[in-house]
Structure 1
Amino acid sequence: MEFLGTSHSWTLHRGVREGREVFVKRGADFSAEAHGLRRLSPLAPEVVHLGADELVLPWLEPERPGVRAAEEFGRALAGLHALGADRFGAPWPGMIADLPLDNAPAGDDWLTWYAERRCLPYARTARDAGTLSASDVTEIEAFLGRARQPAEPVSRIHGDLWSGNVHWSGGRAWLIDPAAHGGHRETDLAMLGLFGAPHLDRILAAYDEARPLAEGWRERAPLHRLHPLLVHCVLYGASYRARTMPTARSSLFSGSG
């Protein structure tokens, strides 16, 4: 078994199981990730084995994505979102990185659920750790209170879709390290743009062709990016405050809506 390195609290390995080359994560409870990978099939790799502290996936040799693969991914992501979910959240306790992610119901609309289950828990944790101030959290609460988001059916989303969680192999994209749940499809698209993704313009154009997005979706991206930025505040400290607070001060929702 070849040791590849560490990520958060677990170790990464490459090896062979029953004649098959595999990727292995060890050192944590990976059941939420396995649930998510199965929920995102066929865009996610097969779960070869799930143990008490081990997750085994097929080894997918990485490659540089081309334009065609990016466009195919955009269309496939639109199809995944269209599969839907029965509610916001998921029927299992979630994880994002090595932090707990509350998938329980909250309220009757996405904005209430997003505020209560995605943003405010991490804002308060960051405040308690000294990364954010009490007034920062008040601003975040006010931002969420005045936010507006067109209603759509619940989508089946990855939930942590930054570019590093799109693995390119075999001429296509694979979704890895999910925080999968029923949510709003604009969340995945906003996350793709947070740290940049290869051929992002072609991914988004192909998605919009396959399943047109509601007017103003690009302008709503700060709302959907607030959660991952708050998670980064908790994981990595004060360096992310400088990016998080301008997002929470977005002028998009400054009016009464």
Structure 2
Amino acid sequence: MDVPAHLADLTGVPVARLDHLGRRHAWTLHRAELTDGRDTFVKALIDGDASDVLTAEAAGLRWLAEGHPGLIPPVLAADPHMLVLPWQPPQSPTPAAAERFGRDLATLHAAVPGAFGASWDGYIATLPLSNTPSTGEWGGWYAEHRLAPYLSAAAPELGRDGVRLLDRVIDRIAELAGPPEPPARIHGDLWSGNIVWTAGHAVLIDPAAHGGHRETDLAMLALFGAPYLDRILAGYQEVTPLTSGWRHRIPLHQLHPLLVHVVLFGGSYRAMLLAAATSALAG
């Protein structure tokens, strides 16, 4: 793709400067200054790859922004080949910014959608996500749309015993899921790399947005570590206290991202996944 030409066509503004920031999965990343003075972040799909991943990402960003526009960057332009957002000048996180993020995240989650899932099917990295809406309990939806499909794909790396362990979690999902909660408006892939700390607050990028369980976002923050996580949680609990036993359910919510990592990156994540499954079963 001719990124400057496509960006100019999409925005209607010529490109004054384009910096290449590398490649991730099926797209290239860029910082672009437009001739109208706007500083932008550009994600461009590599030719030949799936053409609806950026459309789904744009839909997720817009949907999340309905719940908390200050936490989500506005979509400046998007089509199946390119996504354009405002450039967010990065800063180092602080305890105060972390607490603010926790409060903002709780506010986003409280913008309750009508169902688990979403009106569009999404992606996590390059893997498709079924967002089939459901007004039933979260546990059954999670097992059907977040565990079972990726368990099948991860089975060659997990082996028979590993698959049986995950099957036990699926069989007991109603018991393990905890007290019923309404759907929350969640980011869905909230590891620390998808948080941009800027101007004293956090901005979220690269969502796998859907109506899900609010503990999922918090468990993802804990999975690979987030700066000042204790302050994020403190700020969150100021706005919406978490349900009793939430810490014991963290491994259950981490099963989906760990399955995704096994599918994408292979058996190096097998031990983490099986340890999380064992912890989830132990409650």
The TM-score range, normalised by the shorter chain, is: over 0.9
Question: Who is 1:164 aligned against?
Answer: 193
Question: Who is 1:15 aligned against?
Answer: 32
Question: Who is 2:277 aligned against?
Answer: 248
Provide the C-alpha distance between the structure 2 equivalents of 1:207 and 1:199, rounded to a whole number of angstroms.
12
The answer on 1:66 being equivalent to 2:94 is yes
The answer on 1:31 being equivalent to 2:55 is yes
The answer on 1:223 being equivalent to 2:252 is yes
Provide the C-alpha distance between the structure 2 equivalents of 1:107 and 1:120, rounded to a whole number of angstroms.
19
User: Which amino acid in structure 1 is aligned with residue 116 of structure 2?
Assistant: F
Q: Deviations over 1:136-190 (max 9, x none)?
A: 1221011132223211111100011111111111111001100000010000011
Question: Who is 1:133 aligned against?
Answer: 159
Q: Which moved more, 1:142-151 or 1:43-52?
A: 142-151
Provide the C-alpha distance between the structure 2 equivalents of 1:144 and 1:165, rounded to a whole number of angstroms.
28
Q: Cα distance, 1:132 vs. partner?
A: 1.6
Q: Deviations over 1:82-130 (max 9, x none)?
A: 0011111000011001110000135821100001100111111111xx2
- Runs of 4 or more above 3 Å deviation: 252-255
Q: How many residues align?
A: 252
User: Which amino acid in structure 1 is aligned with residue 231 of structure 2?
Assistant: R
Question: Who is 1:108 aligned against?
Answer: 136
The answer on 1:209 being equivalent to 2:238 is yes
Provide the C-alpha distance between the structure 2 equivalents of 1:153 and 1:108, rounded to a whole number of angstroms.
10
Provide the C-alpha distance between the structure 1 equivalents of 2:113 and 2:158, rounded to a whole number of angstroms.
34
Where in structure 2 are the equivalents of 1:148-187 lying within 5 Å? 148-187=177-216
Provide the C-alpha distance between the structure 1 equivalents of 2:78 and 2:133, rounded to a whole number of angstroms.
27
Provide the C-alpha distance between the structure 2 equivalents of 1:93 and 1:148, rounded to a whole number of angstroms.
23
Q: Deviations over 1:18-49 (max 9, x none)?
A: 32010100015301110111112111101010
Q: Deviations over 1:192-220 (max 9, x none)?
A: 10001011000001101211110110111
Provide the C-alpha distance between the structure 2 equivalents of 1:88 and 1:106, rounded to a whole number of angstroms.
5
Q: Percent identity?
A: 56
User: Which amino acid in structure 2 is aligned with residue 19 of structure 1?
Assistant: G
TM superposition score normalised by structure 1: 0.94
Structure 1 unmatched ranges of 5 or more: none
Give the conservation status (yes or no) of the 8 Å contact 2:116–2:210: yes
Mark the structure with the bigger radius of gyration: 2
Structure 2 unmatched ranges of 5 or more: 1-17, 46-50
Which protein has the bigger helix share? Answer: 2
Question: Who is 1:189 aligned against?
Answer: 218
Q: Does the residue aligned with 1:233 lie in a helix, a strand or coil?
A: helix
Question: Who is 2:268 aligned against?
Answer: 239
Give the conservation status (yes or no) of the 8 Å contact 1:85–1:182: yes
Which of the pair has the greater relative contact order for Cα pairs under 8 Å at 6+ separation?
1
Give the conservation status (yes or no) of the 8 Å contact 2:64–2:72: yes
Two-structure CA RMSD over aligned residues (Å) = 1.4
